[in-house]
Chain A
Amino acid sequence: QVQLQESGPGLVKPSETLSLTCTVSGGSISGYYWSWIRQSPGEGLEWIGYLSNTGSTFYNPSLKSRVTISVDTSRNHFSLRLNSVTAADTAVYYCGRSNGYGDYDYWGQGTLVTVSS
């Protein structure tokens, strides 16, 4: 059974970098699309970006200048970095596996990241 687990600091200071890792267990990280999606408290879902099955990355245009998604196949995990965070980046961050056509079959449980001094 594939499982995804987000990890990283739950508190980040304004202007600093948010870094999260999604560890994939029970399956290979190869051959799928790996996404980050976030949800601000009481708000809707926001697509951040994904790493495709060919290793290409695609990002939300509104976040593109601040976000990087990368993969470490040796550790079977992928990561999110979001620079220059503000309070508006406070959210639950989810990682997910999809087929590239919107069908997410596995999700992490989500991790709350709060941006505050």
Chain B
Amino acid sequence: QTVVTQEPSFSVSPGGTVTLTCGLTSASVSTDNYASWYQQTPGQAPRTLIYTTNSRSSGVPDRFSGSILGNKAALTITGAQADDESDYYCALYMGSGVWVFGGGTKLTVL
């Protein structure tokens, strides 16, 4: 069974840069996985940040960027702000119309 892996938690200082990753237990992530990244605060629906690896969704500031780093997808946040403190989820396309979410990363800004 394919498992999408994310760091359970991460912390970043205000103004700092952080890179969250999204991997596969049994393969390397490629652009064919159309990696997507979502931000979610408690009690709210998710918000799309990045799709197809590095495309920013409408209205998302350019502090958020996506890439492939090594064998994983990555979300980089530069100039971290207090309201970036959220849960971040990646999703990967596995082919045949199937998507899988990672377990999420809880980002703390302190």
Name the interface residues of B37-76: CB closer than 8 Å to any CB of A: 38, 40, 45-46, 48, 51-52, 55, 57-58
Nearest chain A CB to B38's CB is how many angstroms away? 7
Name the interface residues of B67-110: CB closer than 8 Å to any CB of A: 87, 89, 91, 93, 96-104
Whether the Cβ atoms of B89 and A102 lie closer than 8 Å is: no
A101-B51, A102-B51 known; A107+B46 contact, CB < 8 A: yes
Which of A50, A60, A103 is the one whose CB lies under 8 Å from B51?
A103
The complex places the Cα of A104 from the Cα of B34 at a distance, in Å, of 13
Which of A50, A94, A103, A105 is the one whose CB lies under 8 Å from B36?
A103
Residue ID in chain A nearest B36 by CB atoms: A102
Complex contacts, B46 vs chain A, CB 8 Å? 37, 45, 94, 104, 107
Whether the Cβ atoms of B45 and A94 lie closer than 8 Å is: yes
Residue ID in chain A nearest B33 by CB atoms: A102
Which of A47, A94, A105 is the one whose CB lies under 8 Å from B99?
A47
Q: State the B residues within 8 Å of A (CB).
A: 34-36, 38, 40, 45-46, 48, 51-52, 55, 57-58, 87, 89, 91, 93, 96-104
